[in-house]
Amino acid sequence: MRILLVEDNDLNRDMLTRRLARHGHAVDTAADGAEGVAKALAKPFDLVLMDIELPVLDGWEAIERIKASPSHGHLPIIVLSGFALTEMRDRALRVGCADFLTKPLDFAVLLETMARHTGLKAIGR
């Protein structure tokens, strides 16, 4: 699966990238919302994992810009947030995100959620 991970925390981004790669996923990363939008619209991805609290352009605005694209609006986006608020989950689903997961992530739940929303499994699973 081709994944775009938009995460500003270097440690989280590196750890998640390595874990996903070990499960056979090709992962590209972005450290802020503007970079995330640019990459999401420039390359083919199967899924976007999007943090909300991002510099330059927050995750909500990044999601809106990706979803507004006629060629990329269908792209499944899973929100990753350190805030387990019902309002945030509701907002994510309302703006067209596939799902909402809270940090710290349960990696098995993440993999299952990714597979459910893309129909694609990790290589070697």
Spans of all domains in the chain = 2-117
Edge-to-edge strand list for the sheet holding 47-51: 26-30, 2-6, 47-51, 77-81, 99-102
Which residue, 59, 61, 103, is CA-closest to 81?
103
Cα-Cα end-to-end distance for the chain: 12
Question: pLDDT band for position 120 (50/70/90)?
Answer: confident
Encode pLDDT of 77-92 as tens digits. Answer: 999 998 878 899 999 9
pTM: 0.93
* pLDDT value, residue 125: 45
| Architecture of domain 2-117 in this structure | 3-Layer(aba) Sandwich (3.40)
Task: Quickly list DSSP for 91-120.
Answer: HHHHTT-SEEEESSP-HHHHHHHHHHHHS-
